[in-house]
Structure 1
Amino acid sequence: MFISAFYSEGMGYSENSLPKSLASLGHDIHVITSDYNVYGNDPNYNQTYKSFLGEAKQPLGTFYSVGYKVHRLKSVDIFGYIYIKGLRKKILELSPDIVQVTEIASLNTFKLALLKPFFKFKLFTESHQHLSVVKPYVIDPKLNFFKNILYKLTRTLPTFLASICIEKCYAIAPDCVEVANKYYGVPLSKIKLQPLGTDTILFHPLLNDEDKLRRDEIRGYLGLKDNDILCIYTGRFTKDKDPLVLAKAVDKLSNEGHNFFSLFIGHGIQKTEIENNKNAKTLEFMRHFELADYYRASDVGVWPKQESMSMLDAASTGLPIIVTDSIGELKRVEGNGYVYKEGNTDDLAEKLLNFSDKILRDTMGRKGSNKMRENYSWINVATNIENDYYS
Structure 2
Amino acid sequence: MKIVHLCLSNFYIEGFGYQENIIPKYHKKFGHDVTIIASRFTYRKDNGEEDLAESGKYINSDGIKVIRIDYKNKWLGKINKKLKIYKDTYKLLEKEQPDLIFNHGIQFLDLIEVARYVEDNPHCKLIVDNHAAYINSGKNFISREILHKVIYKWAIQKSLPFIEKVFVLAPGCRKFVKDMYNISDEKMEYLYLGADTDKIDFENQDEIKMKIRKNLSILDDDFVIITGGKLSKRKNIKLLLNSMKKVDSNKLKLLIFGSFSDDIKQEMLSLIESDNRVNYIGWLSGEDVYDYYLASNAAVFPGSKSALWEQAICSGLPLICKRWDGMEYVDVGGNCLFLDGDNSHQLKENIKLLMDDKTLYENMEKVAKTKGYITFSYEKIARQAIRIN
Q: TM tier, shorter chain? A: 0.7 to 0.9
For the pair 1:386 / 2:386, whether they are aligned, the reply is yes
- The match for 1:109 is 111
Q: What is the CA distance between 1:80 and its match in structure 2?
A: 2.4
Separation in structure 2 between the aligned mates of residue 134 and residue 304 of structure 1, nearest angstrom? 19
3-state SS in 1 of match to 2:33: coil
For the pair 1:98 / 2:94, whether they are aligned, the reply is no
- The match for 1:231 is 225
Counting aligned pairs with the same residue, the percent is 24
Q: What is the CA distance between 1:362 and its match in structure 2?
A: 3.2
For the pair 1:289 / 2:294, whether they are aligned, the reply is no
Q: 1:173 to 1:204 in 2, by over 3 A?
A: farther
Residue deviations 1:60-89, cap 9 Å, x none?
A: 223244153212223356342344322111
- The match for 1:335 is 334
Q: 1:25 to 1:227 in 2, by over 3 A?
A: same
Q: What is the CA distance between 1:331 and its match in structure 2?
A: 2.9
Matched ranges for 1:214-363 at <5 A: 214-253=208-247, 256-257=248-249, 259-269=251-261, 270-275=264-269, 276-277=271-272, 278=275, 279-326=277-324, 328-333=326-331, 334-356=333-355, 357-363=357-363
For the pair 1:28 / 2:25, whether they are aligned, the reply is no
Q: What letter matches 1:97 in structure 2? A: D
Q: What is the CA distance between 1:58 and its match in structure 2?
A: 2.6
Q: 1:110 to 1:249 in 2, by over 3 A?
A: farther
- The match for 2:79 is 78
Choose from 5, 9, 28 the match for 1:2.
Answer: 5
Q: 1:241 to 1:117 in 2, by over 3 A?
A: same
Separation in structure 2 between the aligned mates of residue 169 and residue 185 of structure 1, nearest angstrom? 12
Matched ranges for 1:32-47 at <5 A: 32-37=37-42, 39=43
Separation in structure 2 between the aligned mates of residue 283 and residue 223 of structure 1, nearest angstrom? 13
Q: 1:150 to 1:335 in 2, by over 3 A?
A: closer
Matched ranges for 1:172-187 at <5 A: 172-187=169-184
Q: What is the CA distance between 1:102 and its match in structure 2?
A: 0.3
Do the aligned residues in 2 keep the contact of 1:307 with 1:327 (CA within 8 Å)?
A: no
Q: 1:150 to 1:319 in 2, by over 3 A?
A: closer
Separation in structure 2 between the aligned mates of residue 23 and residue 124 of structure 1, nearest angstrom? 17
Q: What letter matches 1:251 in structure 2? A: K
Separation in structure 2 between the aligned mates of residue 229 and residue 131 of structure 1, nearest angstrom? 35
- The match for 1:68 is 64
Do the aligned residues in 1 keep the contact of 2:128 with 2:165 (CA within 8 Å)?
A: yes
Do the aligned residues in 2 keep the contact of 1:123 with 1:166 (CA within 8 Å)?
A: yes
3-state SS in 1 of match to 2:192: coil
Matched ranges for 1:84-233 at <5 A: 84-120=86-122, 121-137=124-140, 144=141, 148-149=145-146, 151-205=148-202, 207-208=203-204, 211-233=205-227
Q: 1:46 to 1:379 in 2, by over 3 A?
A: closer
Residue deviations 1:74-128, cap 9 Å, x none?
A: 3356342344322111111111111121002222323312333222322111001
3-state SS in 2 of match to 1:292: helix
Separation in structure 2 between the aligned mates of residue 234 and residue 188 of structure 1, nearest angstrom? 34
3-state SS in 1 of match to 2:166: strand
3-state SS in 2 of match to 1:131: coil
Q: What letter matches 1:350 in structure 2? A: E
Structure 2 segments unaligned to the other structure (5+ residues) = none
Q: What is the CA distance between 1:227 and its match in structure 2?
A: 2.5
Q: 1:273 to 1:4 in 2, by over 3 A?
A: same
For these two proteins, the number of residue pairs brought into alignment is 369
Q: 1:28 to 1:331 in 2, by over 3 A?
A: same
- Root-mean-square deviation (Å): 2.5
Q: What is the CA distance between 1:355 and its match in structure 2?
A: 0.9
- TM-score between the two structures when normalised by the length of structure 2: 0.86
- The match for 1:15 is 20
Q: 1:217 to 1:200 in 2, by over 3 A?
A: same
Q: 1:80 to 1:145 in 2, by over 3 A?
A: closer
- TM-score between the two structures when normalised by the length of structure 1: 0.86
The 4+ residue runs of structure 1 with deviation greater than 4 A are 144-147
Q: 1:135 to 1:87 in 2, by over 3 A?
A: closer
3-state SS in 2 of match to 1:164: helix
3-state SS in 1 of match to 2:66: strand
Q: 1:249 to 1:193 in 2, by over 3 A?
A: same
- The match for 1:141 is none
- The match for 1:140 is none
Do the aligned residues in 1 keep the contact of 2:46 with 2:283 (CA within 8 Å)?
A: no
Do the aligned residues in 2 keep the contact of 1:214 with 1:293 (CA within 8 Å)?
A: yes
Q: What is the CA distance between 1:17 and its match in structure 2?
A: 0.6
Residue deviations 1:174-202, cap 9 Å, x none?
A: 11111111112222221111112212231
